Amino acid sequence: MTPLISLLFALAGLASLALAMPRHAAQAKLGALWVARAPWLRGCGWAALGFSLLVRLARPDWRTGLIEWIGEAGLAAAIVVVVLMRRPQLLRGLPAVVLLMVPIAALLLR
């Protein structure tokens, strides 16, 4: 449960961070409006990534959580790399879709 939630936040965060980079914004064909807001995207990206770590650290088994989070963040980054490689345009919607999945996952797995 917690692993899935923090993985989703890490994925949203890293996807936003990638979109804030000019090269990947071009790959994803990100609209000019969003390209101009790259610093804002970057801030949100770091916030989501930080929050995914916080989700793990706020629990009693935070030791295992911290170790898992490092692996999870790597896995999330690998997903972003694969999306950019295969279907770069999907990256545009990724942060929003992933964040929408958080409450759904929370409800389903409760």
Partner 1 sequence: MKTGFRQSMAWLHAWGGLIFGWLLFAMAATGTASVFKSEISDWMRPEVRMRTDPVDAVAAAIRYLSVAAPASSGWYMDAPDDRLAATIATYDVKDANGADEYRLAALDPVTGRPDAIRDTLGGEFFYRFHFELQLPYPWGRILASAAGMLMLVVLISGIATHRRIFADFFTMRPGKGKRSWLDAHNVLGVLALPFHLMISFTGVLTLITLTLPWAITANYGADTARAFADLDPGYYTRPRAGRPAPLGDLRAMLTDARARFGGDAIGRVTVENPNDAGAVLLVYRNDSNGVGYDGGVAAYDAVTGRLLSAYAEQRPAKSLYNLLYGLHMGRFAPSFSRWLYFLCGLALSATIATGLLLWTIGREKEGGLGNAFVARFTVGATGGLPLAMAGFFLANRILPVTLTGRQDAEVHVFFLVWGLATLFGLLRRPARAWIEIVALTACAWLALPLVSAVTVGLPYDIVGLGFDGVALALGGAFVAAIPPMLRKLRTVPKLRERRT
Alpha carbons 17 and 37: distance in angstroms, whole number: 12
Draw the binding track, 18-37, toward partner 1 (x: CB under 8 A; -: no contact): x--x-xx-------------
- Could you tell me if 15 and 33 are in contact, meaning their C-beta atoms sit under 8 angstroms apart? no
89 binds partner 1 (CB under 8 A): no
- Report the residue from 30, 77, 94, 98 that binds partner 1 according to the rule CB under 8 A: 77
- Report the residue from 57, 67, 90, 104 that binds partner 1 according to the rule CB under 8 A: 67
**Which of 3, 2, 16 has the alpha carbon at shortest distance from 75?**
3
Task: Using CB under 8 A, list all residues that contact partner 1.
Answer: 3, 14, 18, 21, 23-24, 63-64, 67-68, 70-72, 74-75, 77-78, 80-81, 84-85
